[in-house]
Amino acid sequence: MADKSKIPLPQPTPETQHFWDGAKAGELRLQQCNDCSAVYFPPRPFCPTCGHREVSVIRASGKGKLYSYIINHRPHPAFDGPYSIAVVELDEGPRMMTNIVNTPQAPESLTLDMPVVVTFESMSDDISLPYFEPAANQSASANGEGKS
Amino acid sequence: MKPGSVAIVGAAETTELGKIPGMSQIQLHADAALNAIADAGLKITDIDGVATAGESPTAIAHYLGITPKWVDGTAVGGCSFMLHVRHAAAAINEGLCETVLITHGESGRSGVGRGGFRGAAASLQGQFEAPYGIMGPPSLFTIPFLRYMKETGMTLEQLAMVSVVQREWAALNPRASFRDPLTIDDVLNERMIAWPFTKLQCCLVTDGGGALILTSAERAQDFPQKPVYIIGTGESVETPMISQMEDFTTSKAFRVSGAKAFAEAGISHDDVDHLMIYDAFAHLPIYGLEDLGFCERGEAADFIWERNTAIGGKLPVNTNGGGLSYMHSGMYGMYALQESVRQMRGTAPAQVEGAKISVCHGVGGMFAASGTVIMSNEQP
């Protein structure tokens, strides 16, 4: 049985705290340069495109697409059987690592560029991790068909 | 160091000194760096060399948004930064880069985002990659490849061919770990490690070592072995996080390093007789062939499939069998260098007849860093 306590939890720093506060509140947060408008991730208090120090925290749509992944077949105590380690490209541009959840962990159900949406799971009092699931799951849910 | 040939043109400390609990260690580096860049009247994009200790130059360069042509992570304790200045002066004189940034930052008192076990969970990879079940290079280095497949149309059979061809080279090498012939089906049907990569598409894990001794070309004539001249070199870093690689179908560090080495050597690709590409996983020779400019984007798979890199091909690659069949101790680059030296001396088990120029291309981390050395047995 998967033991979620075996997941190494992030330790926020002053520059990333807003991201983890957002995750706790069910929001995916990115940053945007006040000068050149670049949206970026991971967090840092200056723009990696132009070096400007005035930046804003923005709430991302939570929507993106599956950019690339592998299915890890080596056993990990926090996972049951093979699992995806994926990178999603957010609609706002930045990419981030995640697991694609709530769908079979098989190439047939994990097609590149399929739409995905963020979903959060509480791991401790302080940390909720962002995961992504197929957008089709949530639209099915909205249609009253329930999650698989 | 030539006296007076290099000067310090910007200098600054962090905005605050003393107790700074509101900044992690890496941000202390960045704060000082941004202040020094401002002091010199430069922009971040003016910086093309990075030296640091305590944090990796990869982490500092990516954090600041710098694409360096020169890095120095020499870490020898408190005097490291004096050494960085010295190395930077030499590098600048040699034309490896023009404007070097040397950073120091240490959250010695507050211990925010500091190295060690605690630092791991506070690092950007610790926060944004580690929670997702990553298990070392096989689960990370492999992630970009599906995107490469989709964008180029490369097939899994073509990926398997990389292992097949390198095993053919290994068969000629008595010191290779694995020498038995392989078929594409053998490769595809092996145990799955990280789909779509099977065990035979991942490097070996073995014991071993190697060393090189270098001296001036002037003195080289007086040694008993045939001299192997370094005629071009390159290096770069991109990112410590595979998820933040700029383009999953090409390595920026490879491109910068390779182009610099070729420019220094003043050679064209047609001049190259032998090529080593650090093959931690089977897709590395694909990326290497394209990023070094031997193939156009999306053409490396066909290039290997058509046996151009195999025995008798026009560009012999990984002639020792590579990390996939020869050996891989963890830091394989030394073994790639040793094979290039053997080829240039004319003593390789699978000797490329008449080879005069060898390109040896290495990777660090997971597409995190790169170094390229071009050797020749003729003095230019």
pLDDT digits (tens, 9 = 90+) for A90-127: 999 999 999 999 999 999 999 999 999 999 999 999 99
The dihedrals phi and psi of A97, each to the nearest 5 degrees, come to: -80, 150
What does the pLDDT look like over B205-216, one tens digit per residue? Answer: 888 887 766 677
**What are the chain A neighbours of B117 within 8 Å (beta carbons)?**
none
Supply the pLDDT for residue B82.
79
Residue A44: HSE in the Cβ half-sphere, 13 Å Cα cutoff: 28
What is the rounded average pLDDT of the residues B255-266? 94
More confident residue, B110 or B325: B325
Say which of A8, A51, A74 has its CB closest to residue B43: A51
CA B42 from centre of chain: 28
- Contact residues for B89 (Cβ-Cβ < 8 A; gap 6+): B1, B5, B6
Q: Residue B144 and residue B290: Cα distance in Å, rounded?
A: 15
Q: Tell me, what DSSP letter sits at residue B354?
A: T
Q: How far is CA B248 from CA B129, B140, B256, B272, in A?
A: 16, 12, 16, 27
**Average confidence score pLDDT of chain A:** 94
Closest Cα in chain B, distance from residue A25 (Å)? 17
How far apart, in Å, do the first and last CA atoms of chain B sit?
A: 24
Q: And the tokens for B162?
A: 């990389």
Residue B364's nearest CA partner among B261, B260, B243, B235 is B235
What number is the average pLDDT over the span B253-278? 96
Would an 8 Å CB–CB cutoff place A36 in contact with chain B? Answer: no
CA-based nearest residue in chain B for residue A78: B133
Q: Do A72 and B135 touch (CB under 8 A)?
A: yes
Both tokens assigned to B333: 């680059």
Confidence check: pLDDT of A145 > 80: no
Residue A1 pLDDT grade (very low, low, confident, very high; cuts 50, 70, 90)? confident
> A44 to chain B: which residues are within 8 Å by CB?
27, 30, 63
For position A148, what pLDDT does the model report? 37
Active-site residue, selected from the candidate residues B278, B287, B332, B335:
B278
In which band, very low, low, confident or very high, does the pLDDT at B300 lie, cut at 50, 70 and 90?
A: very high
Residues of B in contact with A72 (CB under 8 A): 133, 135, 138-139, 194
Interface contacts A/B by beta carbons within 8 Å: 144
Which of B63, B148, B287, B326 is catalytic? The answer is: B326
Could you give the CA distance from residue A92 to residue A90 in angstroms, rounded to a whole number? 5
ipTM: 0.90
Q: Phi then psi for B93, rounded to 5 degrees?
A: -60, -30
Is B335 tagged catalytic?
A: no
Residue B159 C-alpha from the chain's centroid: 21
Task: For chain A, give percent helix, strand, coil, nearest 5.
Answer: 15, 35, 50
Which uninterrupted H or E stretch holds B148?
Answer: helix B145-152
B332: annotated active-site residue: no
Q: Do A14 and B197 touch (CB under 8 A)?
A: no
pLDDT of residue B118: 45
Question: Does residue B186 register a pLDDT over 80?
Answer: yes
User: What is the C-alpha separation between B38 and A7, in angstroms, rounded?
Assistant: 41
**Which of B64, B129, B142 is the closest to A70 by Cβ?**
B142
The whole-angstrom separation of Cα A45 and Cα A41 is 11
Nearest of B89, B300, B341 to residue B212 by alpha carbon: B341
Where is pLDDT greater, at B301 or B207? B301
pLDDT reported for residue B380: 82
**What count of other Cβ atoms lies within 10 Å of the Cβ of residue A120?**
17
Nearest CB among A70, A83, A129 relative to B143 is that of A70
pLDDT single digits (tens) B42-96:
999 999 999 998 889 999 999 999 999 999 998 877 778 878 978 888 888 898 9
Long-range CB contacts for residues B351-357, cutoff 8 Å, separation at least 24: B352/B273, B352/B274, B352/B316, B352/B319, B354/B273, B355/B273, B355/B274, B355/B316, B356/B273, B357/B231, B357/B265, B357/B267, B357/B271, B357/B272, B357/B273, B357/B274
Residue B337's pLDDT band (cuts 50, 70, 90)? confident
Delineate the domains of chain B, giving CATH numbers in brackets: 25-122 (3.40.47.10), 139-376 (3.40.47.10)
Q: Measuring CA to CA, which residue among B352, B347, B370, B168 is closest to residue B278?
A: B370
Q: Taking the mean position of all CA atoms in its chain, how far away is CA A109?
A: 18
Note whether A90 contacts B: Cβ–Cβ < 8 A: no
The answer to whether the CB atoms of B130 and A45 lie below 8 A apart is: no
Q: Is A12's CB within 8 Å of B140's CB? A: no
| Mean pLDDT estimate for chain B | 91
pLDDT confidence of residue B20 = 87
Residue B1: its pLDDT value, please?
40
Bridge partners of B370, per DSSP, are B236, B363
Give Cβ neighbours of residue B7 (< 8 Å, ≥ 6 apart).
none
Partners of B277 in the β-ladder: B361
Residues of B in contact with A49 (CB under 8 A): 65
